[in-house]
Amino acid sequence: MAKIVILGAGIAGQAAVTLLRKKLPRKHEIVMISPNEEWNWVPSNIWVGVGIMGAEQVCFPLAPLYERIGVEFRVGAATAIHPEGDASSSRPFVEYVPAGTGGETRRESFDFLVNATGPKLNFGATPGLGPGEGGHSWSVCTAEHAVEASAAFLEAVERMKRGEEQTFVVGMGHGSCTCEGAAFEYVLNVEHELKRHGVREKGRIVFVTNEPELGDFGVGGLFLRHEGYVTPSHFFAESLFTERGIEWVKGANVMEVGPGRLAWESPDGSEGELTHDFAMLLPPFAGVGLQAYDRNGEDLTDRLFAPSGFQRVDADYGAKAFGEWSPRDWPETYQSPHDPRLFAVGIAFAPPHPVSRPIRTPRGHTYGPTVPRTGMTAAVMGATVAESIADLVRKGPEAPLHRNPFATMAVACVASAGAGFRLGSAATITMYPLVPDYERYEYGRDLESTTGEIGLAGHWLKYLLHYLFLYKARCRPGWSLIPE
């Protein structure tokens, strides 16, 4: 009988836990440890953040689902991994702090561990960033954050209805942020909603991004086939913004967010500043701070985890200059090189390096967008690792691992540009491979599979995906037929 512990009931963790439960008979124990009692379909937080969906439409409670499918659920946050056990037993275990116990730790032993803890939302990296105490901006990273953002957004709309002019700033709250696509969607939805509320002419909208060019998205930009032409993604993104009257600041390393203002450093070393009435700025991500110890209690954290706090997997972490980066640096199995029983998926795995060329300022700061580990890639990694662990349990330790190279994943991204059955639209971008490969493709990617279109059909697809992925995550009949 095997015991598998999954840390983190997010997009990657849910893909892993549900597939493992489907693949393995009930005699094998599957335990989920996660601080959130509800599952959140994060992509639809965009719509919560402009007030057109409630949190209850993007979340559902996990305990009844796990009880139905036979997963033990420990509501709490993992703090440390002990892959060799301790002085009293060589059985590996993970320590966690159950919710509501005031810090008392508990142990859960395991035969296999999947780290799917996602990001620590590192608002502390920029003074004044974030919705918490001392913060002056909003976020849509969690459903709770999105509810708060929508209240502030709708207050700004009310002020506009009373005749006031308002400035909306949306973007990235630090030079090293990832997830530019999420901010891109949110700004398009802000613009769409201002129009729908009849106040667009009273609003200035500015997108502030760490991307060297709009449309970089942390993947070094892309050339895509659009209406029969090969178009660089910055043209595509710039035209979307231009036709909607959205201004942009690119290459910005946001240094400070104050009440009603924000300041950034530009690639040429100059400083910029903006005043705003509403700011939604995403934070940079870090690992959630898991520690690791050997059986004698010696600290293994530096061996299991990168300095960013993300877990090292089967990637090439050797220091290399931009020109030496290769698609082969990226992982395939998501297994820890330190211990074959440990895996990390989704945002929790440590990328070997960015994909976009880093920006270096005359002041010596280096920053730039980091590669997005989107919902789709997170779920694919979760499912790949679930297949591997199921085989290791059923066939023994010699069973080959399933491989799904991160670099060659095909990505489909439907970026909402505004909701509405008749007037909504979304940009549908497909991309293959995720990490550009200039040895194989003239433009880094296969132009047959790398495309971009915007239109109403995209909105319908986005809306359909919202329901499909919530349906799949709830393990409703036929759920496993829906692809990640």
Ligand X SMILES: Cc1cc2nc3c(=O)[nH]c(=O)nc-3n(C[C@H](O)[C@H](O)[C@H](O)COP(=O)(O)OP(=O)(O)OC[C@H]3O[C@@H](n4cnc5c(N)ncnc54)[C@H](O)[C@@H]3O)c2cc1C
Which residues make Cβ contacts (< 8 Å) with residue 424, sequence separation at least 6?
A: 192, 416, 417, 418, 456, 459, 460, 463
Closest to ligand X by CB, 43 vs 369, is 43
Residues facing 226 on adjacent strands: 229
Positions in the binding site for ligand X (CB under 6 A) = 7-13, 33-36, 42-43, 45-46, 77-78, 116-118, 140-141, 179, 182, 288, 346-348, 373-376, 378, 413
* Residue 45 structure tokens: 């937080």
CB of 363 to ligand X, least distance (A): 29
- Which region, left, alpha or beta, applies to residue 90 given φ > 0 means left and ψ of -120 to 50 means alpha? alpha
Residue 394: CB minimum distance to ligand X, A: 25
Q: In whole angstroms, give the CA distance from residue 361 to residue 255.
A: 13
Cα dihedral across residues 295, 300, 303, 309: positive or negative: positive
User: Which residue's CB is nearer to ligand X, number 31 or number 33?
Assistant: 33
Q: Give 35 or 124: the residue with its C-beta nearer to ligand X.
A: 35
Provide the angle, in degrees to the nearest 10, between the axes of the packed helices 11-23 and 375-395: 30
Nearer to ligand X, 33 or 263 (CB): 33
Q: Which is nearer to ligand X, 393 or 413 (CB)?
A: 413
Q: Provide, rounded to whole angstroms, the least separation between the CB of residue 189 and ligand X.
A: 10
Tell me the closest approach of the beta carbon of residue 248 to ligand X, in angstroms.
19
Nearest-10 Cα torsion for 64, 67, 72, 74? 20
For ligand X, the closer of residues 117 and 388 by Cβ is 117
Least gap, CB of 251 to ligand X (angstroms): 22
Residue 323 Cβ vs ligand X, minimum distance, rounded to whole Å? 28
- Nearest approach, Cβ of residue 36 and ligand X (Å): 4
Q: For residue 231, count other CB atoms closer than 10 A to its CB.
A: 18
Query: In terms of C-beta density within 10 A (0-12 exposed, 13-18 middle, 19 or more buried), how is residue 102 classed?
Result: exposed
**Whole-angstrom distance, CA of residue 137 vs CA of residue 142:** 14
CB of residue 140 to ligand X, shortest distance in Å: 4
The nearer residue to ligand X, 255 or 380, going by C-beta atoms, is 380
Of 217 and 223, CB closest to ligand X:
217
Q: Give the CB-nearest residue to ligand X.
A: 10
Nearest 5°: the CA angle 301, 302, 304 is: 65
Measured from the CB of residue 86, what is the shortest distance to ligand X in angstroms?
A: 20
DSSP-derived pairing of the beta strands 112-115 and 3-7? parallel
CB of 113 to ligand X, least distance (A): 11
Sheet-wide strand order for 203-208: 247-249, 203-208, 166-172, 278-282
Residue closer to ligand X (CB basis): 177 or 401: 177
Q: How far apart are CA 436 and CA 443, in angstroms?
A: 8
Q: Which is nearer to ligand X, 45 or 384 (CB)?
A: 45
3-state DSSP call for residue 226? strand
Report which of 413, 448, 416 is spatially closest to residue 429, judged by C-alpha positions. 413
